[in-house]
Amino acid sequence: MRKLIVANYKMNGNKKLFADIVKKINKYKVKDTKIVLCPPFVYLDEFKIKSNSVFLGCQDITNIDNSKSTGQISPNMLHEFSVKYVIVGHSERRSLGENDELINEKVHVCINNDLMPIICVGEKKKSDKLDAVLTQIQSALKGIEKSYVPIIAYEPVWAIGTGKLPTVSRINKVADMIRSYISDLGYKNSVVLYGGSVSAQNYDEIINANIDGLLLGGVSLKFDEFIEIVKGIDHV
C-alpha cells in the first residue's frame, strides 16, 4: 500500500508561503506516496496542483445542510476547489467543544458528498486507557456503510506539539488495536496514520511502525523538512 502523508497547516501561512510551497511541490515527482495538503480554507485557491499523487484537503467541514449557517464550510464549496479529503475530529477542534455526535455528523456529510474524512482520535494523557480511542472510532463510524474504508489518524493529544513521542512499540500496539477493532465493526479494510511531534529527525523510526502514513503539523510549514520526510518515505 502506498503511504499516505497528510500536511495540516492549521491556522498558519500566507499567500506568499503557500505559493512557494505549491511551486516546489509541483516540481517534485512523487513515486510511491500519496500526499494530502490541508491549508486554511481561504488559501485553497492558491493550490494549483499538477501531480496526480498530490491532493487537496480541508481542515474542517459543516455538520449540517443549512445555508443559513454563518461561518460554516459546505461540501459544494470544497468541491469547487477540487478538495478530496477533510480532517475531522482533530483534538484542537474537540477542545473547542466538538463532541462525538457532531464528529459523526461531519463524517456522514463527507461520505455523502464524495469526500474522504480523515478521522482523528487519541488519548489526552499518556496514562489514559486506550479504550477512549476505540470509543471515538465507534462514535465516528456510527451508521457508516461497511463498504467504506476508514482513514484513522492516531494522534495522542499529549504528543501534539510537545516534542514527546510514543515508542514504536506503543504505536504498533495502538495501530493493531485500531485495525482489529475496525474489523470487528465489520469493515474489511482501514488506513491508520500516526500524528504528533513528527519531524525530519524522527520520522524514519516512526514510519517503520505498523502504520500506513503520517499526519504532519508544524513540520509541514518547513518545506525543506517536509519534503525530506516525503523523499525518505517515497523510497521505502
* Active-site choice (90, 92, 98, 123): 90
pLDDT score recorded for residue 111: 97
Query: Residue 50 has what pLDDT?
Result: 93
Does the annotation count 98 as an active-site position?
Answer: no
User: What is the model's pLDDT at position 97?
Assistant: 96
Asked if residues 163 and 205 have their Cβ atoms less than 8 Å apart, the reply is: no
Strand partners, 83: 56
What is the pLDDT, as a whole number, of residue 171? Answer: 95
**pLDDT, position 235:** 74
- What pLDDT sits at residue 69? 87
Active site residue 225: no
Structural domain of 40: 3-234
CA-based nearest residue to 33, from 234, 235, 236: 234
Question: What pLDDT shows up at residue 177?
Answer: 97
C-beta separation of 61 from 78 below 8 A: yes
CATH of the domain at 166: 3.20.20.70
The single-letter code of the amino acid at 144 is I
* pLDDT at site 1: 76
User: Mean pLDDT per 10-residue run, the chain (236 residues)?
Assistant: 94 97 94 96 96 97 87 95 98 95 97 97 90 96 97 95 90 96 97 95 91 96 95 82
Q: What span, in angstroms and rounded, lies between the C-alpha atoms of 198 and 54?
A: 20
pLDDT value at position 33? 95
Q: Do 182 and 137 contact (CB within 8 A), yes or no?
A: yes
Q: What phi and psi, each to the nearest 5 degrees, are found at residue 77?
A: -60, -45
Contact 113, 75 (CB under 8 A): yes
Residue from 46, 108, 155, 228 carrying the catalytic annotation: 155
pTM equals 0.96
Number of domains in the chain: 1
